[in-house]
Structure 1
Amino acid sequence: MDKKILFRVGGVVILAIALFFGYSEFRYLQRHETTDDAQIDGDVNPVIPKAGGYVKEIRFKDNQFVKEGDTLIVLDDADYRIRVDQAEAALQSAMAAVGVSRSQVNVASATVQSSQASVQTARDQVATAQANVAAAQARARKANQDFDRYSRLLAEKTVPQQQFDVAQAERDAAQAQLLAAQAQLQTAQSQVNAAGTQTSVTSSQRRATQGQITVAQSTIKQRQADLDMAKLQLSYTIVRAPASGVVSKRSVQIGQLVQAGQAVCSVVGNTNLWVTANFKETQLHQMVPGQTVDIDVDAFGGEKLTGQVGSFAGATGAKFSLLPPDNATGNYVKVVQRIPVRIELDKKSPLYAKLRPGMSATVAVDLQK
């Protein structure tokens, strides 16, 4: 009899305990949304050379921690240095061409100034010749008048032959001087025209040379750009870490030819980790950013982290798949979809430094907080 009573009491106790834990679980599920479809996520930065070449040095080992900017790979840079030398030589040649053109402009400017002085001198000579012509014309007119008067007087026998001969000689001398003065005037005018033509030609040459300077200056800019590009390409032969983290998944060896844009390894950042939890769409109606989240990472055997709901994805995971579902095909089967939810982790937790992207986790969102 005592055994039956003891058995019944034990059954009642077990039932009470089961009811207690069942009620506690029920209350817990009323306040929380849970899922085991979750994993640790982080930034995985691919290391991609910007220039191609043969691998000369590898300065890291797999799973080594590196800092942002550390040198990871050195490519053979002989070809790129030759291109830099060629670009520098082309730039020096263009600059020398500008110097020669400027010297030619200076010479042409000096020649123009000299020609302009020659023109002014020739014009002064023309003015002098014109004055001499005017004086010779006046003397010739007077000599002609005297000759005509003495011719009449000689016909009337009122002057001796000697005076007539003097008047005739003066007339002939005046005519000769007039012809000489006119010849000098023509010569001076010819010198003016020649000097003006030379000035015009030299000015045209100067303008043409100035145009060459403009072209040469444009060439200098182009050669400078080529040099900058060559130096930039040379700098790309040093492949540096894009971020701080652990280098993994090395896929390159010394002596291997790599191409620009080819991924050679990855740097896994460990300073910005989060959890991506894929909740069913029916679990989201009470979930909002800022709610507290308990996170159980499978790798740590029950040790928990805390976090907060950060944000919700813009579409379901199926919509981002390679072949998203299309329910307008006639064969429709309703499937509960899952929405990726980003959960921000507490970086002060001692487990944070041990986390690695890809680890599986179970999360529980407290809907009351």
Structure 2
Amino acid sequence: MEKNIVNNTNKKDIENHLDEKEKKIEKVQTKKAFEKMLLFLCVFLSVVIIYGAYWLFYARKFVETENAYVNSSQNVVTAQVAGRIKEVFVENTQEVEKGQLIALIDDTDYKIALENATADLGKSVRAYFNLSSSVGQIEDELLSRKSQLKKAETDFTMDRASYKAGLISKLQYETSKNNYSIAKAGVNQSKKALENAKIQFDSKSIYNHPDIQKAIANYKIAYVNLMRTKVYAPESGKIVKKSVFLGQQVNPSQELMTIVNLKDIWVDANLKETEMRNVKIGDKVKMKSDVDDKVYYGYVQGISAGTGSALAIIPAQNATGNWIKIVQRIPVRIVFDKESLKENGSIPIGSSMIIKIDTSEINKNIIPYKAEKSTLYTVDEKIMNKEIDKIIQSNLGKK
């Protein structure tokens, strides 16, 4: 029995020892878990603090997006007059210079039209010259009829006195009276004819006469139409979307091809409306091209007046009860620094860019929007007017 009591005592001691050991292990595990949790919290707080400091002192100054694409002005070349394509001098992907001849429209009909306009102008000048001769003839005729009237008036006065004195017959008197009335009517008729001729003939300048002005206008139309049979490149750049071929019949305003100027490109970046808080004109921008992985630099030149959906052909309508808020994007125009573009070279339009806007740094050398002007389709009026003067002088018989 004593042996059983000793065994029970030893068993209890062993159990107590095991319990104490388990408690120690549990305390150690709890301590380690707490230390791990504390370490995790320290690391997490450190990351939060570091990221907070990074965002506060650096990241918040930048706006980044991949929704950005290269763009450029696309100059659509159109036909100015109707006709059949006679020659084409360019092809897609070809580089052209501003003012370069790129196509010819058959000008046969327009040359004939110019010759007709030249003949009509000469005919109008000669008709005008005939009017001036008519004025002189009518003036001479008026002087003659005035003399006849004076003679008829004298004869009538004398015959009236003779008739009252009974020296001549009534028939002779009536004849004298009728002759006087006829002479007076002739003078009045000549005066009206002279007045009308002077209205038709402007002696101040031949260019003020309506018939001459109309003929000159028709000549200018024919002259300009003939010039427009030559199609020039309105801008330097690369040919794309060529849709004109030899023998093709074209009409005015029909698109022939497009010229893209890769030396004047920009980036259209579509930023979320929530990112626009600090973006402003002049902010410097760092851009990376997906085409060549090169880094370009530029600045914000302009911000759109509306979001992409608001400026769409069919704007979105959110007047229903099932409305879901969608973050809108606002187009921002970014131009390249000339030196950056010159150093890295141009890139195709439509290619993607990764842009990073620095809202803390402003480019002070902002290039204003430039006005575009072309004199390609402007007629040299001095040369045209010289031709008109030559036609007029040759038909007036003057050198």
Same fold (TM over 0.5): yes
1:218 deviates by 2.2
The residue type equivalent to 1:61 in the other structure is: E
Query: Any conservation in 2 of the 1:270–1:353 contact (CA below 8 Å)?
Result: no
What secondary structure is seen at the aligned counterpart in 1 of 2:286? strand
1:88 deviates by 2.4
Query: Any conservation in 2 of the 1:248–1:268 contact (CA below 8 Å)?
Result: yes
Change (3 A) 1:119 1:38: same
Matches within 5 A, 1:180-329: 191-213=179-201, 217-301=209-293, 303-329=294-320
Matches within 5 A, 1:1-369: 23=51, 26=55, 28-124=58-154, 179=167, 191-213=179-201, 217-301=209-293, 303-349=294-340, 350-351=342-343, 353-369=345-361
Could you say which structure has the greater relative contact order, defined with CA pairs below 8 angstroms and 6 or more residues apart?
Answer: 1
Partner Cα separation in structure 1 for residue 190 and residue 108 of structure 2: 49
Change (3 A) 1:25 1:248: farther
Partner Cα separation in structure 2 for residue 348 and residue 207 of structure 1: 74
Unpaired runs of at least 5, structure 1 = 1-14, 138-177
What secondary structure is seen at the aligned counterpart in 2 of 1:318? coil
The residue type equivalent to 1:195 in the other structure is: A
How many residue pairs end up in the alignment? Answer: 308
Query: Any conservation in 1 of the 2:262–2:346 contact (CA below 8 Å)?
Result: no
1:123 deviates by 4.1
Deviations 1:124-166 (A, max 9, x none): 55667789x59x96xxxxxxxxxxxxxxxxxxxxxxxxxxxxx
Partner Cα separation in structure 1 for residue 263 and residue 346 of structure 2: 11
Partner Cα separation in structure 2 for residue 82 and residue 222 of structure 1: 18
Higher helix share: 1
1:328 deviates by 1.1
Q: TM-score, normalised by structure 2?
A: 0.68
1:193 deviates by 3.4
Partner Cα separation in structure 2 for residue 109 and residue 265 of structure 1: 64
What secondary structure is seen at the aligned counterpart in 2 of 1:324? coil
1:224 deviates by 2.1
Change (3 A) 1:183 1:366: same
Query: Any conservation in 1 of the 2:159–2:168 contact (CA below 8 Å)?
Result: no
1:64 deviates by 2.4
Change (3 A) 1:305 1:118: same
Moved more, 178-187 or 38-47: 178-187
Equivalent residue, structure 2, for 1:10: none
Partner Cα separation in structure 1 for residue 236 and residue 345 of structure 2: 14
What secondary structure is seen at the aligned counterpart in 1 of 2:67? strand
Identity %: 27
The residue type equivalent to 2:134 in the other structure is: Q
1:282 deviates by 0.7
Moved more, 246-255 or 89-98: 89-98
Partner Cα separation in structure 2 for residue 309 and residue 198 of structure 1: 85
What secondary structure is seen at the aligned counterpart in 2 of 1:367? strand
Query: Any conservation in 2 of the 1:278–1:340 contact (CA below 8 Å)?
Result: yes
Partner Cα separation in structure 1 for residue 178 and residue 316 of structure 2: 97
1:189 deviates by 5.4
1:251 deviates by 1.1
The residue type equivalent to 1:309 in the other structure is: V
1:219 deviates by 2.8
Name which one, 1 or 2, has greater alpha-carbon Rg: 1
Query: Any conservation in 2 of the 1:129–1:182 contact (CA below 8 Å)?
Result: no
Query: Any conservation in 2 of the 1:54–1:257 contact (CA below 8 Å)?
Result: yes
The residue type equivalent to 1:249 in the other structure is: K
Query: Any conservation in 2 of the 1:129–1:181 contact (CA below 8 Å)?
Result: no
What secondary structure is seen at the aligned counterpart in 1 of 2:115? helix
Partner Cα separation in structure 2 for residue 291 and residue 209 of structure 1: 74
Deviations 1:9-33 (A, max 9, x none): xxxxxx9xx979x759755422211
Deviations 1:75-127 (A, max 9, x none): 00111222222222223333332233332222111010111123334445566
The residue type equivalent to 2:314 in the other structure is: L
Report the aligned-residue RMSD: 3.1
The residue type equivalent to 1:227 in the other structure is: Y
Partner Cα separation in structure 2 for residue 295 and residue 75 of structure 1: 44
Query: Any conservation in 1 of the 2:77–2:233 contact (CA below 8 Å)?
Result: yes
